[in-house]
Structure formats: C-alpha cells, structure tokens
Homo-oligomer: A and B are copies of this chain.
C-alpha cells in the first residue's frame, strides 16, 4: 500500500517503530527507568522476540538481564525516525477532513506542524483555519519551497487526488500522505502512503458480518 525506495530494512519493521515509541513514552510517563521486551510486548501486542529483532536492525540498545533504558531508547527511536525535531506539513484540502487535520492537537504533540493549507475552491481561499490562511493551490510550489516543506497531506476528493500529488511532487515534496481513496502515482524519489480512513472501516466490516452470521 506504500510505494517506497528500497532499503535493507523490512517495511514491517519501520511500521512498528512508531508503535514502540508510543509504548516507550507511556512507560516513561509511568516513571519506569528501564523496560524489558516482554513488557513492551504487553503494551504493543507485538511478540517480544520480534521487538528485539526489530531493534537489532539499528543496534544493540539493551543490557542482558536488565532490559532497555527507557529515555535512551526513546532518543534512539526518535533519531532513527527523524522525529527528534519538528516537521512542517503542507495540507491540501480545506474541507472537513482537512480542517480536522489542521486543528488536531495530536499532530503538534508528536512533532508535526501544519504550516500551510491550500484549496482550489475560491469560497475557501482566504478563510482561516486556526491561525493559517487557506491559499490557492496554485501557490503550493512557491510556498513549499519558501518554507522548505517536505511533507504533504492530501485531503481532497478522489477526483482531485492525482492532480494534487503531481503538484506536490513538482513542489519538491518528498513524502505524501494520501487520505483519499484514490491510489496516486508519483515519480521515483517521492514516497506515498495511501491511508483512506473509510477503507479501514470497510475492512473491519468483514469481521462484523462473520460475527452477525454466527449470532
């Protein structure tokens, strides 16, 4: 579901990294200085052997007989992911979904700042969302370059998704998170992650029909 440039580390490992980071922050907030892979396994529902193996792709961070030093491992994880500093986002689509993304506190809390919002609808251009003014999407390239934005979020209707992806690639954006159901194609060197929220819901539906069927 994600096209990306090759690397020796499996995609699945990378996907679990943020899950580990999250669990580690929980553990830190509970005040533990040290944590075992068994404890992390409980919190993440990932097999403990897998956690150790995943971590070992990046180094030996633990101490046998003791576990992992929480603060240190958080640091390492943030370093590997690149979430040790904030990242500016360009958001295209100022509808319901876009507005929600722009005002979602969870983003800032984990190092993301929506620093520019775009739309093509004249009725929306000029509006404020939080403290950001919605700009015409035709100014995307200029703004992205000026603000050195590397990450773009697509929150537009299906029919406009590919077009926006093209604009983003041209604007020098290197990572695209696509919330529309349309699978977009981009040039090499741009990473797209397609993540349609309704798709997840439809997927869970399958299990619902089975449950009902039995009942």
- Contact residues of A with B, CB < 8 Å? 1-5, 7, 14-15, 17-19, 21-23, 26, 43-45, 80-83, 87, 96-97, 99-101, 103-107, 110, 112, 150-151, 174-175, 177, 181-183, 189, 191, 193, 195-212
Chain B residues near A5 (CB-CB < 8 A): 207, 210-211
- Assembly of this chain: how many copies? 2
Within the complex, which residue of B21, B105, B201 is in contact with A112, where a contact is CB–CB below 8 Å?
B201
Within the complex, which residue of B81, B82, B99, B150 is in contact with A100, where a contact is CB–CB below 8 Å?
B99
Within the complex, which residue of B44, B101, B175, B202 is in contact with A208, where a contact is CB–CB below 8 Å?
B175
CB distance from A214 to the nearest CB of B (A): 9
Q: In the bound complex, do residue B100 and residue A203 qualify as a contact, i.e. CB atoms below 8 Å apart?
A: no
Q: In the bound complex, do residue A202 and residue B18 qualify as a contact, i.e. CB atoms below 8 Å apart?
A: yes
Q: In the bound complex, do residue B202 and residue A81 qualify as a contact, i.e. CB atoms below 8 Å apart?
A: yes
| CB-defined A-B contacts under 8 Å, sample of 24 | A18-B198, A19-B183, A21-B202, A22-B181, A22-B196, A26-B182, A81-B202, A82-B208, A104-B197, A106-B196, A107-B198, A110-B202, A150-B212, A151-B205, A174-B207, A174-B211, A174-B212, A175-B205, A175-B207, A177-B200, A191-B204, A191-B207, A191-B208, A195-B200
Q: In the bound complex, do residue B193 and residue A204 qualify as a contact, i.e. CB atoms below 8 Å apart?
A: yes
Q: In whole angstroms, how far apart are the Cα atoms of A202 and B151 in the complex?
A: 11
Q: In whole angstroms, how far apart are the Cα atoms of A99 and B4 in the complex?
A: 32
Q: In whole angstroms, how far apart are the Cα atoms of A106 and B202 in the complex?
A: 12
